Structure 1
């Protein structure tokens, strides 16, 4: 029987560890998410290119809401990244279930008159009208005041929350989630008006 020579194991250099793909540093991910959000919101407003607004509008369609969630879903509600996550989430929900959204909005618009007007939904508020409204709101990221975008989205979410409360148990989790979303977007909109949203 031949005896194998034992060799000392190879010691990988520093480059070996740098090349390994592992869990990303949460601080680095957070910083990158905020930087991307700032470029999207602040950079888009400085561009007159209509294609920029269109790309922003369809970001969730082209990249997937899961990808956006991976980047922005953990961001605080009072940050640009957190605002973008909530706006894209709202749009994805409207597109995923426009009939139910229309039903909830219709139920809420009688009670939430001011919010209904601020949201700017065409009458009658059918599924297609709601898709158009949410697209107009998101298109505003590039073309108008970001505070207006946030306040319109907040008003829309408030009308839907009101509608959910009339159609179901007002203490239900779904009602509360939509109400919290509305309050977060509204608070962020006011922060943007005060130039405090970063």
Structure 2
């Protein structure tokens, strides 16, 4: 069961922390680092992140939380692995922080949304289950074989929550809020993010998500 907690603004790796993981990184290599960290979360090594570095990364995440590296993904294009992880991370953090609000929107959405076959299979009681699965993802407990289904699942739940929008206005509106990003600011933005994750899932299914 996901506990209600206050999320932190994604922390920035200090030079010492970055060096302890992958050595001295030039700012120009931020995109490459974002991709390397994203694949490392899924236990896929490359020339930057070998198995030992991945293990150290997971140890840091276990101690500090995935917040410690999430900011690295923030400027990644939407149809890339780090871009998909960033959107999933923001959605997860918003749900955990405002679980009561999101649960209510989800329940309303189930009443309003015209569920397709996929949403029907995953809708009932799936919000907490999805959040727990996202936690497993960010803890490094999943692999790239799990990615397509998880992104589709997240996309479907986002659509359901967006359909539960109500006149009381439960969306984040304060632009200084740590989670005030396009993913969480408005219901139509959540639908757009759901579409992006769905396309990312399709790319993952064909081995083209990079």
TM-score, normalised by the number of residues in structure 2:
0.62
Report the Cα offset of residue 136 of structure 1. 2.2
Separation in 2, partners of 1:166, 1:193 = 38
Calculate the aligned-residue CA RMSD, in Å: 3.2
1:139 aligned to which of 132, 136, 146: 136
Which structure's residues are more often helix, by fraction?
1
Report the Cα offset of residue 163 of structure 1. 1.0
Unaligned runs of 5+ in 1: 1-23, 45-51, 123-128
Task: Find the counterpart in structure 1 of residue 85 from structure 2.
Answer: 84
- CA deviation string 1:20-53 (max 9, x = no partner): xxxx754311111111111222529xxxxxxx9x
Which structure is richer in relative contact order (CA contacts within 8 A, separation 6 or more)? 2
- CA deviation string 1:45-85 (max 9, x = no partner): xxxxxxx9xx69x94x8535653342111111111111111
TM-score, normalised by the number of residues in structure 1:
0.65
Unaligned runs of 5+ in 2: 1-24, 46-54, 174-184
**Is the partner of 2:208 in helix, strand or coil?**
coil
Runs of 4+ in 1 over 4 A off after TM superposition: 165-169
Alpha-carbon spacing, 1:81–1:161, altered in 2? closer, same or farther (3 Å): same
Separation in 2, partners of 1:62, 1:88 = 17
Report the Cα offset of residue 118 of structure 1. 4.7
Report the Cα offset of residue 97 of structure 1. 0.6
| Structure 2 residue 178 is the aligned partner of structure 1 residue 181 | no
